[in-house]
């Protein structure tokens, strides 16, 4: 069963008096446990597609499903709950809160999950800081960490909510080559050991090489790359 399904989705944006179509009739299905790269240059529509999958935006036409849930049928509050429970996010700019420690940044999204007890929050934070190799830096603030360490905090934060899907928007863009390689290998290890589905938007060749599935996007349209056909399956 697909953890993500995009059915004939188009997305329009208003630019003054004109309408710009960022996505054109896109269909895509992603199976559980995939390490998927959506590859394309700037302006190709890959971030728009990632935002639709992440329930940050809604399609102009078509449907997006997270598991069996159709995104378009949900209220804003229901979408917020779905993002919190099913999705994790990793951004190229890390998006860490500068006044919080690494531990507090990882814990922060869990504070909004009333079903998670204080003890479970602490256990999850400890576990995932350990997974990303940052237990000894738990009380450091972002400005006391390197770029690679900050991205590892962001990975721990994304994973702490036990999401089925982690969405990563150009996660290596602000990292040097060696650090970026290490962060990618860490995410691949987590993908293999925990079965978490990772979906990247990227133009980084290293991400495409490590992915078990790659789809190219250009001018808002998907095209296969040979690793696996785009569309359902």
pLDDT attached to residue 74: 87
Tell me which DSSP letter residue 75 carries: -
| C-alpha separations of 221 from 25, 29, 64, 70, 161 in Å | 7, 15, 16, 22, 32
Q: Is the pLDDT of residue 150 over 70?
A: yes
pLDDT in tens, 178-228: 998 999 999 999 999 989 999 999 988 989 999 999 999 999 999 854 334
Q: How far apart are CA 77 and CA 60, in angstroms?
A: 20
Nearest one of 98, 221, 83 to 163, comparing CA atoms: 83
Question: Residue range 15-22: average pLDDT?
Answer: 90
Phi, psi (degrees; rounded to nearest 5) at 124: -65, -45
Q: How far apart are CA 119 and CA 125, in angstroms?
A: 10
pLDDT in tens, 27-67: 999 999 999 999 998 889 999 999 999 998 899 999 999 99
Question: Residue range 1-24: average pLDDT?
Answer: 92
Tokens 């779905």 locate to: 82
Question: Residue range 106-127: average pLDDT?
Answer: 91
Tokens 């928007």 locate to: 169
pLDDT attached to residue 89: 93
Question: Residue range 131-158: average pLDDT?
Answer: 94
pLDDT attached to residue 159: 92
Partners of 168 in beta bridges: 90, 200
CATH 1.20.210.10 given to domain 33-59+75-224: no
Q: Is the pLDDT of residue 12 over 50?
A: yes
* Residue 45 region by backbone torsions, left for phi larger than 0, else alpha for psi between -120 and 50, else beta: left
Q: Is the pLDDT of residue 9 over 60?
A: yes
pLDDT attached to residue 232: 39
Q: How far apart are CA 119 and CA 117, in angstroms?
A: 5
pLDDT in tens, 61-115: 999 999 988 988 888 888 888 888 899 999 888 899 999 999 999 999 999 888 8
């Amino acid at each position: 069963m697909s953890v993500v399904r995009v059915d004939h989705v188009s997305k329009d944006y208003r630019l003054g008096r004109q309408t710009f179509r960022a996505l054109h009739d896109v269909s895509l299905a992603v199976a559980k446990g995939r390490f998927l790269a959506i590859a394309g240059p700037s302006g190709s529509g890959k971030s728009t597609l990632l935002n639709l999958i992440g329930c940050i935006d809604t399609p102009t036409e078509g449907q997006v499903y997270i598991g069996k849930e159709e995104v378009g049928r949900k209220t804003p509050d229901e979408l917020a709950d779905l993002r919190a429970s099913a999705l994790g996010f990793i951004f190229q700019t890390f998006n860490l809160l500068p006044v919080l420690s690494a531990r507090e940044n990882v814990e922060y999204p869990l504070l909004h999950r009333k079903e998670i007890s204080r003890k479970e929050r602490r256990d999850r934070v400890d576990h995932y800081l350990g997974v990303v190799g940052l237990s000894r830096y738990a009380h450091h603030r972002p400005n006391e960490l390197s770029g690679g360490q900050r991205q590892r905090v962001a990975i721990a934060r994304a994973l702490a909510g036990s999401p089925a899907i982690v969405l990563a928007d150009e996660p290596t863009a602000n990292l040097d080559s060696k650090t970026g390689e290490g962060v990618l290998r860490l995410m691949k290890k987590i993908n293999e050991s925990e079965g978490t589905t990772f979906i990247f938007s990227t133009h980084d060749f290293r991400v495409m090489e490590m992915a078990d599935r790659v789809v190219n996007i250009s001018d808002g349209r998907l095209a296969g790359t040979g690793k696996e056909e785009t569309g359902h399956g």
